[in-house]
Each structure stands twice: as C-alpha cells, then as structure tokens.
Structure 1
Amino acid sequence: MKTPRKGRTALAILAPLFAAAMLFLLPAAQAEEEASEQVEEIVVTGSYIKGTPEDAPLPVTTLTREDLANEGTPTVLDLIKNLSFSQGADGETDQFQAGAGADRATVNIRGLGPSRSLVLVNGRRTTWSPHAIGAQAQLLVDVNVIPSVAIERIEILRDGAAATYGSDAIAGVMNFITRRDFVGFEASANHKMIDDSDGDTEAGLIWGTELADGRGHLVSSFSYIERGELTLSDRDWAILPYADSPTGGWSSVGRPSVVVPLSRWNAFPIGGFVGLLATGIVDPNCERLGGARTTVGIAGNTLGGFCRFQYTAFDNIAEEAERWQWLTEGTWEVNDTTTLSASFLMTDSDVPAWNTSPSYPPNRLVDENRTIRANNPGLVDMASKYPDLYGDMAHCGEAYCRYAGDPTQDAAGIPTAWQDVAWFYGRYYGQDGPLRDHARENDLQRLEVALDGTRGDYDWQVSAVYSQSERLSLGGDTMVYRDARARQGLGGFDCEAQVPNEYDENGNLSFSLETVMAHAGQGPCRYWIPFSNSMAGSHPQVRDGTASNPDFNPALNNRELLEYMVTELGGTGETSLFVLEGVFGGPLPWTLAGGNVSFAAGAHWRHETYESGPFDINNFDLFPCAAGPEIKDCTSNRNGLFGFLPPSTDIDQDRDIYAVFGEMQLPLSETVEGQLSVRYEDYGSATGASVDPKAAIRWQATPSIGLRASVGTTFRGPTLNQTVADDSSNSLQYIAQTGAFKRVDTKGNPDLEPEEATTLNVGLLVDHDGLIARDDNLFVTLDYWSYDFKKPLVTEPYTAVLATACNPGCDPSGPYFNRLTFGGPPSATNLEIIDINIVNGPDIETDGIDFTARYEFGAGPGIATVGLTGTRILGYDIGSWVLGGAYDALGSMNYGTSLARTLVEWKGRVILNYNVGPANIRYNANYVDEYERDTADITVEEQWTHDLHVTYRFLSERLELSASVLNISDEDPPFTGVEMNYDAFTHNPFGRMIKVGLTYTTGG
C-alpha cells in the first residue's frame, strides 16, 4: 500500500529530523551503567502542569507495569475488557455486532462509543484506523498498536478532557506511557492455551542503553503476536438448532433452494411474500444437508416454506492473526536546559483469512427473472427421483418428466423444453460451502520529534508528530450478470469468452433463444443448479470427507462455477495525522495561601487526511451497471456489478484544525488546590469552533481523606468519513420482516454539527495507614460522575427508519419511504436496501459511581491485599427525536440500534493478592450484571468468572515465571439469541484458558 499523498510532505520533514537525532545519539554510545533512581514530578494525564497522580484533582486510574505483571501480563484487549468503566469495547471477532474489525481493539469509556475516548501515546495523538465501525460509522484508534513489552504504565482519565486535549476526549483519555528510561535487556514470551485452537502466543524484546555518560538514552522494543483460529462450530453453545435459537445465525434464504412453480406465481403479490413461499416446494434433502425446514401458511396451505441456512457455522470466534510491532525511542541532552527526543513506531497486523459464509443472499429475494427452464439438468434429475414433487415441471421425454408446456410461451414460439417453469428462492452457495476467507491488513507508522527545555523557572516544549495508517479489506460477492448467465447454462470463464454477453435495447442482459439453445450446458458452458443433487453434503461433511447426500450427482456439482460467480472485491483506506504543538509553563507572579500559582499555555495545529478507494471491479465510476461490464449507462439496476455489496467511489478528504489552550493551578491553601483550564479549537467549515472550559478542585480534608470535584464541557467534531455525502459504507443487518440479512447503506453528511457534553465528577479519596496494624493501608476512591451529552453523532437506526416508513404499510407518501429499495410491491417483506444517514442524534444523559477499595496488610512473611473495584451505572437515558421516543438504555443489549451498545448496571471484580518475597499470587472474581436483549424476551444472565495468577521471580529477580488460569470454572458466555449466541462486546467466549509466561531481564 502506498503512503498517503498528503502525508508525504510531513514524512519528508520529520524523517530527516528523526534520522539526524538517531545518528547524533549512536556514536556516543557507552557501556551500560545502572540508572540512578530519581523521584520527580511528571505530567499526569489530564493536565500539562507537572504533578503526581495522587495529588491530581481529576479521576485518573494508573496501571503500572507491576500491576500488569501480577495480572499475568494481559493483552491490552484483556485489560480493557476487565475495566469496569469501559463497556462495549471492540476486540473479539464479531462481523455481526462489531463489523469487520478483525484484529483491532478499542476502549469505550462509559459506553459512550469507541471514538469518544481519546487514545494517546506519551501524551500525544496518533491517527485513526481507516476502517469505520459499521454500526456507528466512527473512525477509531486501534489500541493494539503499542508493543506490550514497551509499556511502563497506562493512565486512564475517566472524565471529559476537551479543555486539555481538544476534540475526541468526550468520555475520557487512555494514555500509554512507554519505558523511555529503560537500561539493559529484557526478553519475554507467553502462550495462552485455548481448547480447539492453537492459542495465543506473544514474544517481546526490549533493549536500552545510556549514551555519553548519561547525556543520551536509546531504547528499542519489538513484539510479535500470533493468534490461533477458533471456529464457532468448536463451541456447543454457539451453533444451536433453529428451534433453540431461531435468530442465532439462521437465514430464511438457504440452499438447496425452494422452488415455486410459475403456475402458482399468482400467489404473489396477492398473498404477499409469505403467500408465494407457501406455494413452493422445499427440497426433500433440506434437513439432511444441515438446513432447517420451516413451514409458512396462508389460507390453510402449509405445504411450502423455507429451507433455512445456518451461516454462522462458517464463522470464527477468533480469526487467525499475526501482528508485529517495533518502537525505537531516543533522547539527547543538547545542553543543560534542552533535550531532544525522537521516537518511531511501526506496527503491522495481518488477518490472512477472515472467514464468512459461502455467499450472501440476493438483495432481491423475489425476482421474476430468477427462473428455471423445463430442461434444466438439475430439475430433470430431481424429477427422476421425486416425480411427485418435480415431475410436472420437468421436460425430458421420459415418464417422470410431465411438463406439457405453457400456452403463453407456446404462443411465443418457445419450444416446450426451453420454457420457464419455476422460480427459485435461495442463495447460490450455502450449506455445502465452501466458506469464503478474505484478508484484512492494518499498518501504522508513527514518527515523533520533540524539544523540551527550561528557561529559569519555566518549562517549554515543542513537538511534531506524524502518523499514518493503512488498511486493506477484501470481501466477495456474486456478480449479477454472471449468476444470470449460469442460471441459463452459460456459466464459466471459457464460456463467457466463447459466448459474449448480449443486451436488449435498454442495456439489460438478454440472450436470444437461439444463443441459449446452441450453447447452454454445452462445451465450456455450465449450468448453476439450485437443487440438492448438486451438493455432496453439508459443509462439515464436505470438509471432513464424510459427505452423505445419496442424491448427489457429481455431474451437477456447482463447485466449478464458484470462482466464476463469487468474485473478490474490496478496497483500501488510508488516514494520516500531522500535529504541531508548543507548550510553555511555570510559576506566575501571583501567590495564594498555598503557594505560587502556576500555569501552562500552548498552541496546537493538526492536519488530518482520509482516503478510501475501491478496487476497479467494485468502483462505481468504472462499472455502474449490474447488466455487465460493457454497459456504462443504465437507467435501472445502477448498483454496480455485484448482487449484494454496493460499489463505491474514491474519497479524498483533509482538513486543518487549530487550537490554543491554557490552564492554571491554584494552591488556594495548604490543603486546597484548584485547577482552571480552557481550550479554543477551530475546525473551520460547517463544524465551526468551540470554547471548552473546565474547573477542578481538590481538598485534602485530613492527612488521610481528600475530596475532589471537576466540571467542564467537551466536544467532538465528526471524523472525516462522516462528512462526505458521497461516501457510502455498508453493513449487513438482520431484518426480521424478511427473515434475512439485508444491505444497509450509510451515507455521510457535510452539515453535521459537533457533539457537545457537560461532565461532572465528585469524588472521595481515602489513603490511611495504620487502620488496624501499623503496617497496613486502606485505600478507597468513590466517584460520582455524570455526562449531559448533546447532539451525538450517530447513524440513523435502520430498524427505526423501516418502522417509520412502513407503519404498518409502506406508504410512498410517508416519511423515509425514499430510503427503502424494494424487490417487489412496497412492503417490508420485499425490502432490499435501507439507506441511512449520519446525523446529530437524540440527547443522552448518563451518570454513575466508580468505586475502588483496597486493604493491604502484613500476613505472616508476606503482604496480603483484599480489593474491590467496580462501576454502578445509575442511568443511561436517551431522549426523544424524530425517529423514536425517549427510552432507558441501561440494563439492555441495545441490539439493532446505533445509539448505544450493551450497558449493564453493575460491573466489577474482587481481588485477593498475596506477595511474599519473589512470589505473588492473585485471585480475581469478575462480575458482569444481567441485562435484557431488548428485541426479544431474553434475559442475558449475570456471570461470575474466576482467574488465578501466579508469578515467581528468581536469579536475583532477573527471571520471572508466570502462570494463569483464566475462567477457572470454564463458564460459557450467557445466551443472547443473536447471531453468535453471545455478546462479543461483553463476555468471554473462549472458556477456560491456561497461560504461561517467562521474562528474563538484565535491566530496569
């Protein structure tokens, strides 16, 4: 993939600076020396003024490297999933809820949305991953980009921070602090064992040295992560019979197809979609091949119905993935007052085979052109086996072929054998497979150069950061014109070369009867067969070599047409971010009762770019018409070449954002400290500008008890992809009225207003030594928080658009009717496509309580710790708007809406820890509250899971061994009844896992 064009200038500026810095550092390399320990104030997340986390008036959670080691060195994703104040984070594979995220992960503070939590590296921004979350159309920062071996600590601000960091910090901030002062060498490796999978493996290296007697420093780290595939079929709770979980991955559009004789076509549209299928013939091998037969009734007729297909049998819980990361950082003391620093981060993530079902259902479920001729070889063969079902439609001159012709077609001069006799309902590849696997690739490069210095009592800093991210996303779909050719016996690459496409005067694909009679099923031309006699067996049987369909006819196998009909498509996405920032701070000539007032002020400029481009085959500008690649001008079927996935066009957007900011630290007394901050940020254009103030205060009431409070405003402008009216992304959503997944196209909006929120936090802190014994410590934090969220950027819920347009009938004069595309008379059952827009949605009010309690005391030869941490959400109220009334989203899965993800009332954990010398033992009990699946009468049960971590250090603490048992009791995730039968945002699908690790270090 290429470097984004607009990023090349920034890269050209920064690359020589980085190279010069590294060359300046390396010649002065000296022998390793033990770094002297220093105690100093640092810049804490949420402020540009130096201090310590303990003294901050803001709610900051700090996770040190030792904390992570005692937890068995979790991945960043595992860490985020265990944070009580993060709900609905991406990470696990789930192409239905989370879209095509694959190997990306996010943090979702307060459940307000992944892109509303700002992610920083050493206090500075990095660019988005180019592929937006399908349901919310939000670009996000992938937190998987940092090598875990390089992380010194993670600071999480659980409060809005636009006054300090600007846009995107609506919910809070996650700041990764790296081991920039490491000296020595460290190697680590760990492996997580998961049943039915090769598990997860991670290896890391870090090396650091001082330069020129401590004047400089150089650290380089490398991490490699490999994840094994785990299929959904490997978990018995995931693949359930239709009767047990009818919405658990079952589609009404299956294979083998349901066949409706054209003589019964009059049931449609009089009897509607259900009436049509009630007159159909379900393939007699439907259930033998893994389908589920269900009947539909109209006027007492229950002969027809569906042959349902379980598409999730082809999907994965975890995709095979490979990721490597490299980070190099250097510092050099230019003189006694100035330090130059530089860093370069590179990460590469590959998912070689993102598994999904063999084919999509056709968008037009009811298509009068999807017909079968009387001499179709599959029909003739089935008629010989089941004459009572198919004999009246087949024509072959044998006793079991009883079709005598249709007067209308006879009058048109069509020979009996070549007449259309039936319409079929189904997909082109299904139970028999094979699954489709498509690659996903994500790359990121980040380059940072900074100068830090002092001038008297004042500190200053200037920095430049350039980051770029690239994504390749592949998929597959059926070409409309090729499936039309194959139905007529003209399928295959060689056949298409020999028998070119023919079109009528309107540009529609239309072969003459003479062409069809001369070539159908002859030579290189093949039929696609909709019946079970073209299927060797269901997918697991075919894969395992135990095919068991006695009616299979190898001569009718459709596999030879697979590559012809299902074509790979996709595209690339690129983002870049170039940030210039300067900060200056120190004491002011003002003195309050507690001491001198200090300040920090700065200016910020950033340039953002977003580019996306389809492959030629799915580029609307090149191939706009479904009829075939030769047709460039068509009045109908202007949906590109493919039957389900829409085409797209090249997008190239950029913008400049300017900001100035300042803050003051006010020592009001020896025990009271205040903080005032404000930021002005200008997006230009329709988004405009925003001024966001914030005030915070902390009162140390006693040596052991402190109170803190903060209030401020935050905002977030739309990401670049959300502002492009021509940018149409798509997702697949289950539409109950059709019994199938349908395409939902999401379009940008250049007139979006920024989101705004007012945040409040009031907290109590207790840090008391000697509560019971002289060597004990009690640490407690209790924070009440609230967010008053205005004009959130959301996609219109497709369920609400459909319900408003078809309530109960689909009235062409009604609201939102023009957003629906139908494959027949307007009705919800004939729906093909729903168009939705990105809009400013209804107001959201949420509040809750975070709590932490930890008691540490001497016990025998060691130190014991008992802890409790958790979050109780008190309310999550979504206001009324044009697409729906007000409702309470708390305690709900919020399935089928873009306004919220799963929100549980209680989430937390109990911690028991014992440390004695080189050994540490930790037990965690993790709790997730019950909630309701709001679109069905299902209560998702509460869940307790239990983890045990043991670490032991020896060889003068240079070698550390660790072992963990995660989910000791092997709990299955609670049943949800959605596609994968569990909630990927909330629960662990892997069962019991055993993890072992080893770390060897010579430094620190």
Structure 2
Amino acid sequence: MKMTRLAYAVASIGLATSVWAADEQPKKTERIEVTGSSIKRVSKEGPAPVETVTKKQIEKTGATTVNELLKSLSTIDIFDQGELASNSPAGSGKASVRMRGMSENQVLVLLNGKRLPRSAIADSSGAGDAVDINMIPVSAIERVEILKDGGSAIYGADAVAGVVNFITKKNYQGGDVGVRFGTSSRHDGTEKGATISGGFGDFDEQRFNVFAALDVFKRDPILRKDREISKSVDFRRFGGPDRRSVSSPYGNKLGPDFQPTGETIKPCPPEMYNDACKYDFNAELLTAYNGADRTSFMSIGSLKITEAIKGSAQIVLAQNKDHFEAHPAPDTFVLPDGTLYAGRFLQGGPRISDRKSTTSQFVLGLDGAVGSIDWSVSASKGRNKVVNQDSNYLDRKRFKAETAAGRIDGTSQTNDPALVESLKVSPRREGTFDLTTLDAKFSGEAFQLPGGALGYAAGVSRWTEKLSDRPDELTTSGSVLGGIQQASADAKRSAYAVFGELALPISKMVELQTALRYDHYPTASKTSPKVAVSIRPTKDLLFRSSYTSSFKMPGLKQLYGAPEQGATDFYGPEQCGALGLPATCEVQGFNVGGANPNLKPEKGKTFNIGVVLDAGPFSGSVDWWAIQQRDAITSPSETEAMLEGQIGTDAQTGRPVVFTPLRNIGQMESRGLDADLSLRFKTALGTVSFRDAVTYYRYIKQRRGNGDFEYLTGVYGTTPTARWRNTFTVGFDASTWSVTTAFRTVSGLNDTSKLPTVANGISPTTRQIASHTEIDLVGSYTGIKGLKLDLGVKNIADRMPPFSITNASSNANTQMGFAELYSSRGRFFYGAVNYKFK
C-alpha cells in the first residue's frame, strides 16, 4: 500500500507518543471509550456532544423496534415512508437514520463500534444507500450513543451528519426470556415478539464469556381503508382534492391531448363519476402501516488469552420478510379501432411483492495492552442481501398487443383465463452489498501536561465494498406493466485510511482535542481535520466547541449504475425553445438520468458550540450547530439540462431525450439548536424526574448551481421537514414499580410542495398543517424476583395525524392524507413479561 506523507506523519505521532508512554509508565486508571473519540477517558463528557440512551430509558419508551425507538428521540429526523409505503422497490420495509436535515447516506451506523453493511438495493440518487436499522433487535441493545457533531475525522467519509452506535450486552451471565404483545384499539397492527438470551462464563475469573440472543418479531399490517383519514383518496371530505385515479376498470376514453373526454368504455357507476370515471385505490389492499416478519440472532464471545490480550468474536444474523399487495396496474390501453382509454385490468388480480432481506456480519478481534498503551486489531465481513420477488404482473408489450387485437377486453373480467395467465410475468430483483474491513489502532497516555496526561490514538483501516444490484431483463427494459423501470449496478472498490488523534489537557479547566484522517479511494482522496475544545470552569459546568471538515464519497450505484430512462412531457417557452418548437408546444419524450462515473466527493464543514451543566437535581445541555455542504450530488432539472444542450433523440421512437445524470451542483446548509434538560429529585414515595429534549432547526436550505436557496424548514416540500421536535417526559420510580409519561410533539408545516426562497417566501394564505402531539404511558413492576412486567399505552389520546393537501395531491407521496412524520396507527396497547435467571 502506498503511504502518503500524511500517513507517515500520523504514524510518527503515534510511534513517538507510544515511546513516551512506555518510558513513563504512568499509573493505569479505569478508562472507557466513548463514541466520538478513539481515546479512552475517565469522564464521558468531553469536547464532542454525545447523547446516550440507556437500557432503562429504552424500556421506558415502550419501543419494540429500533426504528420506533429512534423516532422517540428529538435528535433524529423522522421520515417514515419505508414503514408506511408498500410501492417503493428500494424503500418499502426498510428504516434508516436521518440527522441534521441531511439524507440517510450521510449518517454512519455502527454496531459495537463496527460498520454494518448498507442496504443492497438503493436508488441511483443515493436514497436508501444506508443501513437498514430494522435488522437490529432492540432487545439486545444495552445503550445507544449518538455523536451529534459529525465524525468524518474519526470514523470516515460517511459520518457527515453524525454517528449512531448501538452497543449490546457483554460479559453477561445468566438467562433472559421475554415475550411481548400489542395491538391497536382497532384490533389491527398486532405485534407479537419473543426473545431469549443467555451468557455463561466470567471473563475475569474463568477467562471467557459467551453471550447469545435470539429475537423474533411479527407485526400485522394496518390497511388504509381502516382509517378515516386514508380510507379514500377522494379527500373532498377534508376540503382537499379528489385524487381517485382516472385509470378506471370501466375505461376513460382519451382525447388527442391524452385527457379524459368524459366518455367511458363501459357504463360507470354514479358514485365513481366526477368529470371522469374514478378508481379509489385507497379503498382496499394498500397498507397504512406495513407488516413485518423479522428474526435476529446475535452472539458475542470473548476469551482472555493472556492477562494482557483478549480475543473476541461477534456474529450477527438477521432476516426480514415483507409481503405487499397493490392494485392491478393503471395504464393506457387501445381498442381495435384505435380508441385510447385510461384503464385498469382487474382480471389480472393484485400485483404482489415479496421482499426478503438478510444481513450477516462476522467480526474477529484482538485487544491488548502494553503498559499504558491499549491496542486492537479486528477484521469483519458483512453482507446484506435483498430479493424482491414480484408476481401477478403483466408483460406490457404482449398485453397491449392482445388488447389492440381485440383478444383481451381491458374493461372485462370474463376474458379467457388461460390467455390472461399466459400474459403474466414474475419480475425479480436481487441485490447484495458486501463490506470487508480490516482495522488496527492503539491509544494511550504520554507525558504530563498542566491538566493531566496527553492522550493519543492512531490507527489504520482498509475496506472493500462490493455491490451487485440486478433487476431482471423485463424490469430493466421497462417491459413490466405496472412495474417501475430500475437500473442495475455491478461495482467494487477498495479504500484505506489512516488517522491520528490527540487529547490535550492544557490545564485543569481546558482540554483540546485534535484529529486528522486521510481517506484514499480509487477516484479521490481527502484529508479531514477536527478540532474541539472543552472548558470546565467548575466541576458542574462545561463549555465545548468543535469544528470538523468532512467529505462524502459518491455511492457505488451513483458512480457505476446503469442509466435510468423514464417518460416525460416537454412544454413551456423554455423547453419548447430548446427543442426549436413554438412556445405552446406539448411533446412527449424521455428523461435519461442516473449514475455518473465522473462524480466528485461532497465536501462540508460542521460547527458546534455548547454548554453542559450538572448541578444537583438539575442537569442539562444546549448545543448550537451548523453544517455547510458543497458539491452535493443531485440532478439538474430538465429545463436546466435542455438549456445547456443536453438533448438527443430516441432511436426507436424519434422522440426527444433530455439527459440529466447526477452532478456535483448542489449546496446545502443546516443550522439549529439541541437542548436536553432534566430535573430529578427524591420524595418519601420515590424518585420524580422531568426531562425535556428538543431539536430546533433555524433553517435548512439547499440550491442547485447558482440558483436561489430554497428553504426546507417547516415546509412539506418533497420531504416534510418539521422546524422542531420535542419529547417531554415525566417519570416516577419507586422500589418495585415505575410509571413514565412521554409527550412527543412534532411542529406544524406549511402545506405546500413549493419551497420558498428569500425572494419568494411563503404566502400568508398558505394552508397550515397543525402540530401533532402523542402521549405515551408505560408502567413497570419488579416486585417478584427475576420477573419484570411492563404495561403501556402509546398515543393514549388516540390522536390521528393532521390532514395535508400536499400529501393527498401527489402520487410522489404516500397519498394517505398526512405527512410521513407520523402514523395513523392510533391508540396502541402493549404488554411485556421478562424473566431473568442465573
């Protein structure tokens, strides 16, 4: 491996400090490693803002999945489309983490400090190129640590917005058996789960420990038809639009402009007619909350090889199955006489998708100490495999040929069943993402500074990513009626990094943290620095500030995926002018976008300033942060590409084609405030606690090229972005029982898809989506030895989400009538029994 000057410099820092440490041999103290630093320290609070969610806090949320747990934290952005929508090939059934207004591929997810493989199926835009957190069993988690100031200088390029580290049990003896059950007040969305875990061997006395856990989780879906807000896409009952589809099974004749003429092929029932014969796709089949069938297994073993050397192994195996059904596909059909009509062939039956996702990870490691120097080496191999198996779809070309010839009547359900069956196809998409890593690092303390010993760490990493995303030929060619044309990808790359970190206690009050990381990829390299400082004027008060430079490499599919082509319409003076046509033209054509092998890394800067106070019964922290990102990867608009001359002609149809592959033309800025305040005091009956955690966005803004900045905060837009999220918790703990009440609030939104700019702000007449609050109540009892009973109610007031016209108006959204910041599950009762034994 070719070493750069920076690599030599970092290695030299590490070797020099290790020599100093070996010479001085300071007295060893009990130190821990906290997410955000590779240097072990005595105090958890340092220059970096790290939020820790303990096992006890996790239990008090009543969360049965990791996704539900993270949604209860104000730090984490909510966009739950993967759990709500059932028609996204890359997203349905998955859950990912978003922070700081940035996408899921800007957040690094770790399990016990190790990277997990990302999802094998993602869009070329980068959406979905992240760890599916549904693969992590919530029952195995001991705590969650969230680094909130970015971690590129410590962990690597993809830790731009932050790091979420899930930490599981270790050195555990005894057994743990638990069952849980929950259901909504409407008797759907029922959840059943069971877990069994156990450990044996005392690492200190017997020199080994083995821990294993098995978790099973099943959830029934909730159908849209079973909730008032989503039971029909005719939203006129809420003052919204009638979004029932004109692709009706009775057939709407189309004019030369491809708009319904008002005439139908077959008589339309009066209740379905509104300017055209309408089809209500929310009235059956589609889900409002997806079902789930998940099984996870985890085992961690440790062995004391010598008094100074420990070996460890970790195995993770997880499987997630999802079953989705959708209506027969809408499309444009033709009669033998050439009449076009918008229809939906009901005799074909519902389109079915079965998704199976498996994740595996194997980690081997050695940890040791030489004097005051701690060292570790590890190797890991992880894989995510996703198979989307569809059925009951139709071959587009053959079906249209049969309808044009009159052998199939698209408005009838009495066609020859054998002929219909012969037209059916079963598209399949299979993807794998492999991640292989090798890591080595050492850390320790060197000479004394006025505030204590200098801490240091240095390390190297090497990793290989391999992606294979292969939709079948029918899917890639767009030959599936009702299917989404998907791009394939087959790519591999290896990279390496070297980093160094110093913790400098300049005085008893001031600590300085510096880190430098060099990442080398085949197409780009980058050095990422970090500087952080903490000032502690008293033992109860801490001020902190940090600066991190970051960069994010393009994903493999963004670089090497196949082109993606979709139909589009060209109209308006600018587009028509670019085609050399009159300003009033309306022309059908194609958009070709997707990957670009010439993409560069996205670059950014993160700033954080905060204060932490721990004074008797009161504790709290307030942090201001800002992120600036440039060279962000996005696609130009069709108009922008056409004005640049990115126009061609389709060889088969002669229609115009506009080329909009991904480019580094985006810019994004995010600023906000985190506050976490707690009050805890004892009474004669027990301990009373209050906690209020809030994340407030001053703004999130983005732009393409030299265009105006568009503001996302507090606007539905394309992805609803709340200005603030707040979780207020009141708890009471006695000797054998406890009660916790949580008030979870998401702020309101401007109900518009148009993002405002400085020049064109939000109109005062814009409809407002109200804020939404849900109240959860959970009680626990531990009065019987080894036994723990939990009973709770989530959303105790049975609040339904506020209505959104923007969501209802566009099929780019879920069209359930509310923003994907909440669910319509309503009041949910649950209980759990857990028994621990030695």
TM over 0.5: yes
Retained in 2: the 8 A contact 1:209–1:219?
A: yes
Specify every segment of 5 or more residues in structure 2 that has no aligned partner in the other structure, as ranges: 1-27, 573-583, 755-765, 808-813
Residues of 1 paired with 2:793 and 2:466: CA distance? 44
The secondary structure found in structure 1 opposite 2:402 is helix
Q: How does 1:11-160 map to 2 (within 5 A)?
A: 40-51=30-41, 54-90=44-80, 92-95=82-85, 100-133=90-123, 136-160=126-150
1:199 counterpart letter in structure 2: T
User: Which deviates further from its counterpart, 54-63 or 458-467?
Assistant: 54-63
Does the alignment pair 1:785 with 2:625?
yes
Identical columns (%) = 24
For residues 351 and 618 of structure 2, the distance between their equivalents in structure 1, rounded to whole angstroms, comes to 55
Are residues 1:281 and 2:263 paired?
A: yes
Structure 1 match to 2:218: 226
1:929 and 2:767 correspond: no
Residues in 2 aligned to 1:45 and 1:334: alpha-carbon distance in whole angstroms: 27
Aligned partners of 1:187, 1:143: CA distance in 2, in Å? 23
> What is the CA–CA distance in structure 1 between the aligned matches of 2:288 and 2:31, rounded to whole Å?
45
Distance 1:729 1:456, change over 3 A: farther
Moved more, 720-729 or 215-224: 720-729
Shift of 1:254: 2.6
Match for 1:361: what amino acid? Answer: D
Q: Which residue pairs with 1:941 in the alignment?
A: 770
In structure 2, the residue matched to 1:308 is: 278
Q: 1:448 — aligned with what?
A: 363
**Contact (CA 8 Å) 2:246, 2:252: kept in 1 or not?**
no
Unaligned runs of 5+ in 1: 1-37, 261-266, 295-305, 363-369, 374-419, 490-519, 521-526, 536-555, 621-638, 770-776, 806-811, 827-832, 896-900
Shift in CA distance, 692/814, structure 1 to aligned 2, threshold 3 Å: closer
Residue 340 of structure 2 corresponds to 424
- Counterpart Cα distance in 2 of 1:823 and 1:871: 52
- Distance, in Å, in 2 between the alignment partners of 1:246 and 1:479 is 36
Q: Distance in 1 between matches of 2:712 and 2:529?
A: 29
Change (3 A) 1:101 1:744: farther
Deviation at residue 933 of structure 1 after TM alignment: 3.0
Is residue 2:19 matched to residue 1:201?
no
In structure 1, the residue corresponding to 2:264 is in which secondary structure?
coil
Structure 1 residues 97 and 53, CA gap change in structure 2 (3 angstroms): farther
1:703–1:62 CA distance, 2 compared to 1 (3 A):
same
Shift of 1:711: 0.7
The residue that corresponds to 1:758 in the other structure is: 605
Counterparts of 1:617 and 1:951, CA distance in 2? 54
CA RMSD of aligned residues (A): 3.2
Q: Distance in 1 between matches of 2:693 and 2:624?
A: 14
Report the AA paired with residue 201 of structure 1. Answer: K
Q: Does 1:217 align with 2:187?
A: no
In structure 2, the partner of 1:669 is 507
Give yes or no for the alignment of 1:972 onto 2:800: yes
Q: Shift in Å at residue 196 of structure 1?
A: 4.4
TM-score norm. by structure 2 comes to 0.86
With over 3 angstroms needed to count, the CA separation of the structure-2 counterparts of 1:312 and 1:986, relative to structure 1, is same
Instruction: Assess, with a 3 A threshold, how the Cα gap between structure 1 residues 561 and 428 changes in structure 2: closer, same or farther.
Output: farther
1:437 and 2:352 correspond:
yes
Indicate the larger mover: 784-793 or 93-102.
93-102
Greater radius of gyration (CA):
1
Aligned to 1:184: 174
Distance in 1 of aligned mates of 2:682 and 2:567: 56
Paired letter, 1:926? R
Number of residue pairs aligned between Structure 1 and Structure 2: 774
Match of 1:601 among 451, 458, 468: 458
Range 712-721 or range 658-667, more displaced: 712-721
Correspondences of 1:636-785 after superposition (within 5 Å): 639=477, 641-643=479-481, 645=483, 651-685=489-523, 688-726=524-562, 728=564, 746-769=593-616, 777-785=617-625
Specify whether residues 952 and 242 from structure 1 end up closer, same or farther in structure 2 by C-alpha distance, changes over 3 A only: closer
SS in 1 for 2:99: coil
Deviates more, 1:755-764 or 1:140-149: 140-149
Aligned-partner SS, 1:293:
coil
Question: Secondary structure of 2:120's partner?
Answer: strand
Deviates more, 1:41-50 or 1:873-882: 873-882
- For the residue of structure 1 that corresponds to 2:83, the secondary structure is coil
- Asked if 2 retains the 8 angstrom alpha-carbon contact of 1:135 and 1:731, the reply is no
Partners of 2:815 and 2:653 in 1: how far apart? Answer: 28
Give the aligned residue type for 2:632.
Answer: P
Query: Cα deviations across residues 353-392 of structure 1 (Å, max 9, x unaligned)?
Result: 2122211424xxxxxxx5424xxxxxxxxxxxxxxxxxxx
Instruction: Give the 3 Å change call, closer, same or farther, for CA 614–176 of structure 1 in structure 2.
Output: same
**CA distance in structure 2 between the partners assigned to 1:343 and 1:613 by the alignment:** 30
Distance 2:603 2:242 in 1: 37
The structural deviation recorded for 1:427 is 2.8
Q: Aligned residue for 2:759?
A: none
3-state SS, counterpart of residue 278 of structure 2: strand
Q: CA deviation at 1:307?
A: 2.4
Amino acid at match of 2:408: W
> Which of 815, 827, 831 lines up with 1:992 in the alignment?
827
User: Once the two structures are superposed, what CA deviation does each residue of 1:545-579 show, in whole Å capped at 9, x if it has no partner?
Assistant: xxxxxxxxxxx357665433342212100010000
Instruction: Quote the residue 1:378 is aligned against.
Output: none
What is the aligned partner in structure 1 of residue 245 from structure 2? 251
Aligned-pair distance for 1:468? 0.7
Q: Distance in 2 between matches of 1:426 and 1:738?
A: 23
* CA distance in structure 2 between the partners assigned to 1:333 and 1:345 by the alignment: 22
Corresponding residue SS for 2:58: helix
Opposite residue 65 of structure 2, the aligned amino acid is T
SS at match of 2:815: coil
Partner SS state of residue 557, structure 2: helix
How far is the alpha carbon of 1:97 from its aligned partner? 9.2
User: 1:862 aligns to what?
Assistant: 686
Change (3 A) 1:725 1:175: closer
- 1:715-770 C-alpha deviation (Å, 9 max, x unpaired): 1101111101525498999x99999x99976511111111111101111111011x
Task: State the Cα distance separating 1:69 from its structure 2 match.
Answer: 1.5
Q: Partner of 2:811 in structure 1?
A: none
- Give 1:354's match in structure 2, choosing from 297, 302, 324: 324
**Structure 1: distance between partners of 2:315 and 2:567:** 35
Mapped partners of 2:589, 2:783: distance in 1: 58
Aligned to 2:788: 960
Letter in 1 for 2:286: D
Q: Distance in 1 between matches of 2:302 and 2:138?
A: 21
- Closer, same or farther in 2 for the Cα pair 1:703/1:137, shift >3 Å? closer
Taking the aligned partners of 2:792 and 2:565, their CA distance within structure 1 comes to 41
1:437-476 map, 5 Å: 437-475=352-390
1:940–1:217 distance in 2 versus 1, CA, 3 Å: same
Question: Could you tell me how far apart the structure 1 residues matched to 2:125 and 2:269 are?
Answer: 34
The whole-number CA distance in structure 2 between the counterparts of 1:96 and 1:198 is: 15
Alpha carbons of structure 1 residues 738 and 165: separation in structure 2 relative to 1, 3 Å: farther
Name the residue aligned to 2:310: 339
Q: How does 1:479-628 map to 2 (within 5 A)?
A: 479-488=395-404, 527-531=407-411, 534=412, 556-557=414-415, 561-588=419-446, 590-615=447-472, 617-618=474-475
Q: Deviations over 1:581-606 (max 9, x none)?
A: 10011122x32111111100001100
Distance, in Å, in 1 between the alignment partners of 2:775 and 2:109 is 29
Cα distance change of structure 1 residues 141 and 657 upon mapping to structure 2, 3 Å threshold? same
CA distance in 2, matches of 1:243, 1:70: 40
Deviation at 1:103, TM superposition (A): 2.5
Partner Cα distance (1:105, 1:758) in 2: 27
In 1, Cα distance between equivalents of 2:631 and 2:618: 42
> Does the CA contact (< 8 Å) of 1:90 and 1:107 recur in 2?
no
Amino acid at match of 2:752: D
What is the correspondence of 1:777-856 to structure 2 with a 5 Å cutoff? 777-796=617-636, 800-801=637-638, 818=648, 836-856=660-680
**SS of aligned partner of 2:606:** strand
For 1:845, give the aligned amino acid.
Answer: E
1:286 partner letter:
C
**One-letter code of the match for 1:44?**
V
